Amino acid sequence: MLIRRLARPLLASIFVWGGIGTFRDTEGHAQAAKPLVERATSPVRDSLPEEVPTDPHTLVRIDGAIKIGAGVLLGLGKTPRLAALLLSGSLIPTTLAAHSFWEYEDPEQRAAQQIHFLKNLGLLGGLLMTAVDTKGKPSVGYRARHGAQRVAEQTQQIVPAKGCKRKGR
């Protein structure tokens, strides 16, 4: 459908651009993410495996790579549902780290951050719609329910109900 071909690149563009910006200013993004990373990792830091990164610089680079990679996939229409889920998972911590408007005292800064926060919620809504878009085809859940129903009906025809005896025996 033409709308999907136009909408996906439009939605993806902000993430690709944001991922590029993350690599251009990793230090600034890491400083913005540091308080959120500390709050999220401090309670479980001792129980995490050594391989799990907990430093803001590494996490910001991973986030940038996800934004670029999944953004390009979404824009090209390649695995758009998976790409939208990855971008959704990336957008939530980004929004909390960069646009926590409730922490600002200045009314102008608070209003500006609130606008960005709400913009990101709108982007999240678009990503979630993309993640569940089946291009007009029935969903996996629908196909599974109706497939199970067909199997049950066919089984009823082949195997008589419990307690019934077949004729001729």
| pLDDT, tens digit, 9 for 90 and up, residues 9-41 | 999 999 999 999 999 999 999 999 999 999 888
Q: Across the chain, what does the average pLDDT equal?
A: 90
13 belongs to a structural domain:
yes
Q: Which domain holds residue 70?
A: 1-43+52-158
How many structural domains are present in the chain?
1
What pLDDT score does 152 carry?
A: 83
Burial of 37 (0-12, 13-18, 19+ CB in 10 A): buried
Lowest mean pLDDT among 47-61, 111-125, 141-155: 141-155
Instruction: Answer yes or no: is 166 within a domain.
Output: no
Lowest mean pLDDT among 14-18, 89-93, 135-139: 135-139
Going by pLDDT thresholds of 50, 70 and 90, the confidence category of residue 155 is: confident
Q: Classify residue 165: in a domain, yes or no.
A: no
Residue 167 lies in a domain: no
pLDDT of residue 9: 97
Domain annotation covers residue 164: no
Flag whether 68 is in a domain. Answer: yes
pLDDT of residue 8: 96
CB 26 within 8 A of CB 57: yes
Inside any domain, residue 116? yes
Residue 160: pLDDT over 70: no
Q: What pLDDT, on a 0 to 100 scale, did the predictor assign at position 106? A: 96
Query: 168 lies in a domain?
Result: no
Dig out the tokens for 81 from the structure: 């549902």
Would you say the C-alpha torsion 107, 14, 74, 58 has a positive or negative sign? negative
